[in-house]
Amino acid sequence: MSSQEDAEKLLKETAYFKEAPEALVQELARQMQCLNVEDGHNFFEEGEEIHSVLILEEGMLVRTKMSVDESDVAELRSSLREMPSEHSESASSDDSSVLIDMISGRAQVTGLLHNFKAGAVAYATVSAKGSVKAWLIEGEKFREAITKEPAYALEMMSALSRELRVGTKSLQALVRHSKAGHREGNATTEQKVCKVLCYDATSWTIEGFEPAIKEFNEQHKEEGISIEMEFTTERLSEHSAIFAAGYSAVCLFVNDTANSNVIQTLSLLGVRMIAMRCAGFDRVDTKAARAFGLTVARVPAYSPYAVAEMGIALLMSVNRKIHRANNRVRMANFTLDGGLMGIDIHGKTVGVMGTGNIGAILCNILFGFGANVLCYDVHENPDVLDKGGKYVSKEEILSQSDILFLMMPLLPPTKHTINFDTLKLLKKGMILINTSRGGLIDTKALLKGLQDGTIAGAGLDVYENEQEYFFQDWSAKTVTDSDLVALLGNNKVVLTAHQAFFTQEAVDKIVSDTIQNLTDYYHSNKSGIRHPNNCIPVHH
């Protein structure tokens, strides 16, 4: 097939030219230049004029953005829907830019709207991810060809505008609503109202926040500051982000998702702050938040005692088979037969991976048991060292521990710390406890370890795919996640649904620190400093 035929065939597969008159297709195909480029080649650069229409034949394109300011937001609003994309990710492509989306698949078109008129500027950089085969039509040639077919040009523009309208209509309405909301908040009085939407709200959230906010507003009446928090049971996701229209902040919990797409939407809606009511922020793309100008704050330590003590509760339940013994005595089986025997913790080697706030408190409790405490962390904790903790390598802690606690955050280097390879290092018959994040363990590897006896028992407060299930009542429904079903059916496993934090003291601290973060943000904003004390550093 000649390259003219290739080009015509590709054009007819695009959404925009499949109905085009034959003469126009032939003319455009004549102008198309084929390019084979390697990873990283930039087709359009953010802020520079777009000179051509691009049609993808093979490979993948990424759209990235260096930073977003007010003018970018305006540009984003107008071009948000121009480029159809099949895939998007929350990861960023390099250290300083944020990935907006990815385009893959034959016959995807980009730059079309920009080339109806000369001089339009790209709001994002479009570059090749891996090897890419694409065709370019120079903007001027495109305009010359299209003006020869005015009826089709009109049809195409109307299709494009329809597409833009459909994509942005609700968003624009929400942005208007959002602006009106902000104006309302400021115009009625001199009062500054911080409007917050609290996602994934459960009864303890509402019962904790409502009276505390009421009290806060009473106390700060004179200063003219108040917080208005509304609650939704919805989790933050790409689908539910638009609910945040009209709010200046969102309050999130462990299973809300704030990836780059969500953050882009929040930013367009005028949301300026993400107040996490938890310590972990593994579901927040902090790089995207920085690029879109959103401040992210968290509650770094609500009650580290609550989580450390729950770790011990899980250990003692797994070790002394409390869960099984309790079921048996309820059935009037008062024997000790059938696997109720446990081990003393005293004198055992207990590994603690992650000796931060929670891990350090756990070490103190373990010293009380008379255990030999081994530690692993990227930073040694001097208090833990002073009290007798011994830092060892990852291989040593995995291979020497009779009991192993995972107490580090979920980050790319800690993901699946327990996997099929590290399983081989574990001491036969060890006990594994995880109160941190489910993603620290590859569940399939854990199930294998339980089955072959490498792992004698597991105490888990978290599960890697907990998002769909935890904090919800599934008792009348069918759990279809086969790994979760296997954990639930395994009597060597004690599983709780992310409740390690759940003590009165911890909830009080979550509520008071979140309110503090919101007001710090308001104050720091007034003084031009954008970060409350508990702001998450951008390097995360």
Strand partners, 251: 198, 275
Kindly state whether residue 397 participates in binding ligand NAD, applying the rule CB under 6 A. Answer: no
Of 50 and 433, which has the nearer Cβ to ligand NAD? 433
Kindly state whether residue 359 participates in binding ligand NAD, applying the rule CB under 6 A. Answer: yes
Candidates 155-163, 227-235, 300-308, 464-472 — which segment interacts with ligand NAD by CB under 6 A?
Answer: 300-308
Kindly state whether residue 407 participates in binding ligand NAD, applying the rule CB under 6 A. Answer: yes
Of 137 and 493, which has the nearer Cβ to ligand NAD? 493
C-beta separation of 284 from 276 below 8 A: yes
Kindly state whether residue 307 participates in binding ligand NAD, applying the rule CB under 6 A. Answer: yes
Kindly state whether residue 322 participates in binding ligand NAD, applying the rule CB under 6 A. Answer: no
Mask 225-264, x = binds ligand NAD (CB under 6 A)? Answer: ----------------------------------------
437 is catalytic: yes
| Burial label, 69 (beta-carbon count in 10 A; 0-12, 13-18, 19+) | exposed
Cα separations in angstroms, 187 against 181, 227, 272: 10, 16, 19
Query: Which residue of 270, 304, 342, 389 would you call a contact of ligand NAD, by CB under 6 A?
Result: 304
Q: Which amino acid is at 406?
A: L
Query: Which residue of 436, 443, 517, 519 would you call a contact of ligand NAD, by CB under 6 A?
Result: 436
Kindly state whether residue 486 participates in binding ligand NAD, applying the rule CB under 6 A. Answer: no
Q: Which amino acid is at 43?
A: F
Query: Which residue of 122, 271, 279, 313 would you call a contact of ligand NAD, by CB under 6 A?
Result: 279
First to last CA, the chain: 51
466 is catalytic: yes
Rounded Cα distance between 236 and 200, Å, is 7
Supply the minimum distance, in Å, between the C-beta of residue 506 and ligand NAD. Answer: 8
Of 328 and 509, which has the nearer Cβ to ligand NAD? 509
Other CB atoms within 10 A of residue 428 CB:
10
Kindly state whether residue 311 participates in binding ligand NAD, applying the rule CB under 6 A. Answer: no
Supply the minimum distance, in Å, between the C-beta of residue 289 and ligand NAD. Answer: 18
Q: Which amino acid is at 287?
A: K
Of 379 and 539, which has the nearer Cβ to ligand NAD? 379
Tell me the H-state helices in 278-400.
Answer: 286-291, 304-320, 322-330, 357-369, 382-386, 394-400
Of 270 and 304, which has the nearer Cβ to ligand NAD? 304
Of 336 and 378, which has the nearer Cβ to ligand NAD? 378
Kindly state whether residue 356 participates in binding ligand NAD, applying the rule CB under 6 A. Answer: yes
C-beta separation of 384 from 356 below 8 A: no
Kindly state whether residue 414 participates in binding ligand NAD, applying the rule CB under 6 A. Answer: yes
Rounded Cα distance between 135 and 56, Å, is 6
Supply the minimum distance, in Å, between the C-beta of residue 299 and ligand NAD. Answer: 9
Candidates 230-238, 384-392, 406-414, 481-489 — which segment interacts with ligand NAD by CB under 6 A?
Answer: 406-414
Residue pointed to by tokens 């405490």? 373
Other CB atoms within 10 A of residue 378 CB:
10
For 177, the enclosing helix (H) or strand (E) is helix 150-187
Q: What is the DSSP letter of 235?
A: P
Strand partners, 440: none
Residue closest to ligand NAD (Cβ): 356
Rounded Cα distance between 326 and 443, Å, is 26
Of 139 and 389, which has the nearer Cβ to ligand NAD? 389
Strand partners, 352: 375, 405
Of 225, 218, 175, nearest to 520 by C-alpha is 225
- What is the binding site for ligand NAD (CB under 6 A)? 279-280, 301, 304, 307, 353-359, 376-379, 407-411, 413-414, 435-437, 461-462, 498, 500-501
Q: List residues with catalytic annotation.
A: 437, 466, 498
